[in-house]
């Protein structure tokens, strides 16, 4: 059984260009994410064959990653998403599963990645992702919410506040953490499918899977994360890191 942990690392971002090269307490963001991936690889090496690959469209990111000793592959800059970027790199690589780890998740917890990989393989999930039980930021449109069934299969993802409490607010909701575990053939099918209606409306690519009848199972994360979308998020991440260091 082979698992590839793939990190899509695009340079351009509308709200924060070059964010993967931004320094977080002395290390670039891409370095911190790469370290998380390598630590996960160490956890899993006794069970599965694993590999970490970075897919980027930018020479500056490539140079930084090469200095880290990373396996980094260049991709075209006009690919529509990080998912397309990793498939471009891995379509001819042998593997059973691919973990799509976003390059802007410097606080992702290695044990949560380990749990996601292990549960997905043990249960034969076609696709799976992480969720975190939360009570904060439910109104934030950048915080993606998910509702699940009794088997932890995702019913819907939304930027809106779901579930909506008609008479009173729900005591908690499930926050989506944008890390995906794909069986390789499902990743191939995903990139070959057309952008779906709900995906266009919500601007959430995982809805393409649900609309096409491909189940997305949810694995509970032990720790929350902060995805870096804008410069102000760097300070939030550094505060969290300071608390861990105390």
Q: What would the pLDDT profile of 198-238 be if each residue is shown by its tens digit?
A: 999 999 999 999 999 999 999 999 999 999 988 999 999 99
pTM, two decimal places: 0.95
pLDDT for residue 43 is more than 80? yes
Helices 184-192 and 82-90 cross at an angle (nearest 10°) of 120
The answer to whether the beta carbons of residues 29 and 226 sit under 8 Å apart is no
Percent of the chain whose predicted confidence (pLDDT) is above 90: 87
Query: What is the rounded CA–CA span in Å between residue 67 and residue 65?
Result: 5
Rounded Cα distance between 20 and 13, Å, is 10
Check whether 137 has a pLDDT greater than 90: no
Domains of the chain: 2-233 (3.90.550.10)
Q: Is 188 helix (H, G, I), strand (E, B) or coil?
A: helix
Q: Which of 197, 189, 196 is nearest to 214 (CA)?
A: 189
Neighbours of 169 (CB within 10 A): 12
pLDDT at 106 over 90: yes
What does the alpha-carbon distance between residue 141 and residue 127 come to, in Å, rounded to a whole number?
A: 24
pLDDT of residue 7: 97
Q: What is the mean pLDDT of residues 50-69?
A: 96
How far is the C-alpha of 218 from the C-alpha of 245, rounded, in Å? 30
Please state the rounded mean pLDDT for residues 190-205: 96
Q: Is the pLDDT of residue 136 over 90?
A: no
Q: Which of 10-14, 169-173, 195-199 has the lowest average pLDDT?
A: 10-14
Rg (CA), the chain: 17
Rounded CA-CA distance 207/227 in Å is 19
Tokens of 61: 């990111």
pLDDT reported for residue 169: 87
Q: Would you state the pLDDT for residue 245?
A: 66
pLDDT for position 12: 85
Say whether 50 sits in a helix, a strand or coil.
strand
Confidence band for 15, pLDDT divided at 50, 70 and 90: confident
Q: Is pLDDT of 74 > 90?
A: yes
């Amino acid at each position: 059984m082979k698992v590839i942990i793939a990190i899509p690392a695009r340079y351009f971002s509308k709200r924060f260009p070059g964010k993967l090269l931004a320094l977080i307490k002395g290390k670039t963001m891409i370095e911190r994410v790469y370290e998380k991936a390598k630590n996960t690889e160490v956890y899993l090496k006794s069970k599965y064959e694993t590999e970490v690959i970075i897919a980027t469209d930018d020479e500056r990111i490539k140079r930084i990653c090469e200095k880290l000793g990373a396996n980094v592959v260049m991709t075209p800059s006009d690919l529509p998403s990080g998912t397309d970027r990793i498939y471009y790199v891995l379509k001819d690589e042998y593997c059973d599963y691919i973990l799509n780890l976003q390059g802007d998740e410097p606080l992702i917890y290695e044990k949560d990645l380990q749990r996601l990989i292990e549960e997905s393989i043990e249960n034969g999930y076609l696709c799976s992702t992480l969720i975190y039980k939360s009570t904060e930021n439910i109104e934030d449109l950048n915080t993606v919410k998910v509702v699940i069934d009794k088997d932890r299969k995702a019913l819907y993802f939304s930027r809106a506040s779901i579930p909506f409490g008609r008479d009173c607010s729900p005591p908690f909701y499930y926050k989506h953490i944008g890390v995906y575990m794909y069986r390789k053939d499902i990743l191939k099918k995903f990139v070959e499918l057309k952008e779906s209606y709900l995906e266009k409306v919500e601007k959430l690519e995982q809805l393409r899977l649900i609309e096409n009848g491909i189940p997305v199972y949810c694995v509970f994360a032990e720790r929350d994360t902060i995805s870096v979308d804008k410069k102000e998020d760097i300070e939030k991440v550094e505060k969290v890191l300071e608390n861990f260091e105390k």
